[in-house]
Amino acid sequence: MGFINFILSMIIMLFFIYTWGKIKRKIAYNRFIKAIDLLNDKRYFDAIKHLENIGDELKYDSMYWFYLATALACAGSISDANEAAEKSLKLDANNVHAKNILKHIKKQYLPRESTNCN
């Protein structure tokens, strides 16, 4: 009887771990969408806060790093924006958005039409 209880406990624990991981990822994506809305509303510091709070869940998502780079650049944090854009490109070398913002960051110039900073 003790062995069966142990196996059942392990199954329940593994199910919980699997389910919690899915829930955390869904919460992170919902916060990601909220951060994009804040960025579009030109609330850059709020967008940065939202994005930084979900970094662990989306650290392998190239678009996460692109949006963080955009928010940081619009907030005036050019060196941090550069680092985020480079991470985006390391994850997806074909991310055209990251390439474009990185090109402008490298020039220390962010034209209003290439970002949503205006």
Helix, strand or coil, per DSSP, at residue 117: coil
d(CA 75, CA 52): 14
Rounded to an integer, the average pLDDT of 7-20 is 81
pLDDT digits (tens, 9 = 90+) for 58-82: 889 999 999 999 999 999 999 899 9
Return the percentage of the chain with pLDDT > 90, whole number. Answer: 50
Task: Kindly report the average pLDDT of the chain as a whole number.
Answer: 86
* Among the listed residues 116, 117, 73, 67, the one whose alpha carbon sits nearest the alpha carbon of residue 91: 67
The structural architecture, per CATH, of the domain 2-106 is Alpha Horseshoe (1.25)
d(CA 95, CA 74): 19
